Amino acid sequence: MGAHTSRTTAVRDLRETAHAAQVRELTAAGVLEDPRWRAAFSAVPRHVFVPYFWTGRGAGHERLWAEDPDPERRARWLRGVYADTPLATRLRDGRLVSSSSQPSLMAKMLSALEPADGDNVLEIGAGTGYNAALLCHRLGEEFVTTVDLDEEITESARSHLALLGYHPTVVTGDGARGCPSRAPFDRIMVTCTLPMIPAAWLGQCRPGARILAPLSTGLIALTVRDADFAEGRFLHTPAYFVPLRGATAAPAPTEFGEVHGLPYEMVENERFQFMLVLTDGVLHPREALDLWRREDRPARERFGVTVSTGGQWSWLDDPQGPYVWPLGDG
């Protein structure tokens, strides 16, 4: 009994030390400038939400988990959990269907969401429940709703959240349809990549609401005017997420290494990749490259998106300017 208690205490101390180190690193990186988010990350340990994850690719997948009898593999699990990296948490037929996002990106997104006390927030993509827990700590569980298509994922997220005493509304359903029963929302935060913005969300938002969503390889921050219109620009932050599944499922991403007719350095240029995906199906790769060069290699912040009853468009610099492209099925 004594040896078991000693081991349990040592494991708890290691986890607490690793958690504290993560918060210090995120703070030093400048992504936890808001003390309220710093307090949330300090209060919510990531390991509770990631009891296991997968490493490697293809046939080389390896599962690391908290209760592995091998102490070295347990140590690798703990190092991985508190590293600033995304973690694959659920595979199906070798395909990634759910993950725990990179903590520094989560911190940037939560900050960019700009929720105020009393705001009603909808999260699309429950994942492990970690992000919902951070929102619960900041706003209170009664103001947080999180949705995922997969019942196995929502049940797991609900269990993880309950371990820390959080009980937000966790819904199994198609995130593209939002959650009408919990509307209206002041903020919608999306943790899966979209091909376009589901129209249902606008009708579930209050005027002035903010939608933050991964699109292409960036984050679009939209301000909702009403049920018929929203507009905004991309943040400078790159973002790569598991695609949304359901009615508005994202298409397979462009394989940049297979884009022919482009100089290799452009295929590997992350900023150009963003524009290439954003204009996919509208501009040929060579046309996109010529425009990108002609416009002084624009970064993400110069691009934006307009959502209206007449369709959805991405644009460069000005929604009324010369460079406007239909988005998704626009």
Contact between 208 and 185 (Cβ < 8 Å): no
Quickly list H helices, the chain: 2-28, 35-43, 71-81, 103-113, 130-139, 151-163, 199-203, 264-267, 270-278, 285-294
Residue 88: enclosing H or E segment and its boundaries? strand 87-92
Quickly list H helices, 148-217: 151-163, 199-203
Contact between 106 and 131 (Cβ < 8 Å): yes
Question: Could you tell me whether strands 144-148 and 169-172 are parallel, antiparallel, or unpaired per DSSP bridges?
Answer: parallel
Q: Tell which residue, 105, 103, 138, has the closest CA to residue 121.
A: 138
User: What SS3 class is residue 123?
Assistant: strand
d(CA 154, CA 159): 9
Active site residues: 98
297 φψ region: left (φ > 0), alpha (ψ -120 to 50), beta (else): left
d(CA 319, CA 317): 7
